[in-house]
Every structure is written in C-alpha cells, then in structure tokens.
Structure 1
C-alpha cells in the first residue's frame, strides 16, 4: 500500500492557479504528507479532451485512480463567470464510478481559485467547486479566521478557501497573504487527513 497523499488537482490557463497549487502542496508537505500535483487537459467547443497522454510541461494529467486513492483533495480553478472552468468540471462529471462506490466519502477536501479582477466571482467559484465534493461525501475544510492573513489580506483570501487576484493580464504574483493562506489550506488538509486516519482507542 502506498503512503497517504493529498491530491492537489487544478486547471490553470495562465499559471496563477498552478502557482497556488504549488503553495498548497508546500503546506501539505509541512504536515508531513506527500502532495500529488495533477492537472486536467483543456476542452473546447470543437472537441472533447483530446490532449496527449502526457502534457508538455507542468503537472501530469489526473487519473481516476489518483482521486480514488488520495487521503484528501485540494481542488483549484480560475473563475469562469463565477463558476469553475469547463476542463475541471468535465473531469468531475466523469467521476460517477467513484460516487457509486463511495470512494471519497469521509475524506477532507478544500478549494481554491484565481480571478483577473478583485471581485470577479471568487466566492461563487469556490462554492461551485464544493458542490460535487459534497455529493461525493467529502468533508470540506475552509479557512478559519484564526488565520491572520485572512484578516490582513488586500488581495485574495476567503473563509471558503484561498483565492488570488491575478490582475487583468493574469501576471500579478501571489502576495504574502495569498501565499500564507494557500499554505494554511495545505497544512490543514494534511493534518485533517492524518487525524481521520488515526484509529481512536
């Protein structure tokens, strides 16, 4: 049996959500667990996911086994009109087999997002990503206000999960508060997964 890991699954168009995923992974590793970074291929109105099996750069594409065997999940997407991006939704729509067998029931999960405008639908995007996770029976972990960066942020950050204001060109780097909140989510998911795995005597 492989060591427990947190799956950090995301879609990123311009790199901001991918950087958030890397920061969340660092938080997971601070908790002493492996962070498995995975992404999904793009889809379009002309075709379904027809990307090569291995992306040219960055994280590998996710498989159902990556999701099935994880100890917890961090799910990230840029916003698309206040909702998650289609490639991530396309992958989640194909997870019925895991729902039927209850593979994800009782596992911790969190969500994260990036937007080009400060009030560009961050919270509704985070909520939209929570819905399929609730259907899978996952235990949602947000960010409590005991995280000081949540009170100090002037960019992204919500109690529903980390967020990032990437700017109109998508090039604005994560600020110190956004980084802190990403790492806090990763740490929280890692610790929660370990606590749920610990037998109670």
Structure 2
C-alpha cells in the first residue's frame, strides 16, 4: 500500500517535515511516495491509498503551487472517496496561520470525500513547525504518519 506525500518547501523546513512523515510511513510498513509539488502529478492519486500534503504558510494559506496541485485534482472529483488524508505545515512564526493552512489542505480533501483522522492529544489538525522543525515537530510528523498508516491498514484489510 502506498502513501503519496506532496510538499512545497522554499527554505527546507517543510521538506524536513516531509522526510519525517515518509520515515513514519515506512516505519509502519507502507510505501512512502515522496514528491516535491513541482514533480508531483495528480495522476498518481488513483494509485495510492493515502495523500498527505505539506506546505509552508504564506499569508495564512498553503502556497500557490500546492493550491495548483489541489486545483488539478478536480479531474478525479468523486473518485478519491475513502482515500485517507492528512496535512502538515511550517510557518515563520507563531500565530501566523498554521491552523488555517492545515485546515485549507484538509478542506480540499473533504471535498473529495477523503477520510481525515484528527488527533485528540495536540496537533489536532496536523503537525506545524515554527521555523526550522525541532525534534518535537518531527516526532509529530511521524505520529501523523502512524495515524494515516494505521487507518489505511484498517480500511484495506
């Protein structure tokens, strides 16, 4: 089973988080397909069991390149139902739009009928880092991956 991880990163912070997510996916027995957004294709979506999106925060929202990927996914509207989804982001400071960015990513997944699992013990929507991700932020990325992997396994038994 495969998990597509698509991310944008201009400073390397979101990329570090994406690597941690991929590590967590593989640690939990699934294949991580890691793609920078400019190398990603929406045509990979029907071939995976989960999609995790990562973006820096730009003006309280995901980057334009991530939004473009989401917009292109319209060709699979109605065909991604029950795909598992998740999201993460990095921001330049506290209170600069981490939650709104993650929620924007998750909203697009919900429009597709994807399944999102929250987390009741903090980082409810998904991991967010401020600046360079510290060990705690990277641990949260691996926890997101674990939740996604476990849900994929349950749904595909």
Tell me the TM-score range normalised by the shorter chain: over 0.9
CA distance in 1, matches of 2:101, 2:14: 13
1:11 to 4, 8, 12: 8
Alignment of 1:11-30 (within 5 A): 11-30=8-27
Alignment of 1:142-161 (within 5 A): 142-145=118-121, 150=122, 158-161=123-126
Say which SS state the counterpart of residue 37 (structure 1) adopts: strand
Equivalence for 2:141? 182
Output the TM-score relative to the length of structure 2: 0.95
Q: CA deviation at 1:141?
A: 2.1
Runs ≥4 residues deviating over 3 A: none
Output the TM-score relative to the length of structure 1: 0.75
**Distance in 1 separating the partners of 2:76 and 2:119:** 27
- Aligned partners of 1:21 and 1:76 also within 8 Å: yes
The answer as to 2:108 corresponding to 1:132 is: yes
Determine if contact 1:111/1:126 at 8 Å carries over to the other structure: yes
| Residue ranges of structure 1 left out of the alignment (5+ in a row) | 42-60, 151-157, 167-171
* Matched pairs, number: 157
What do the CA deviations read for 1:92-123 (whole angstroms, capped 9, x no partner)? 11111100xx2210111111000011221101
Deviation digits for residues 10-68 of structure 1, max 9, x if unmatched?
A: 11111110110000111111110000001223xxxxxxxxxxxxxxxxxxx11122222
Structure with greater helix percent: 2
8 Å contact kept, 1:143–1:162: no
- Secondary structure at the counterpart of residue 57 of structure 2: strand
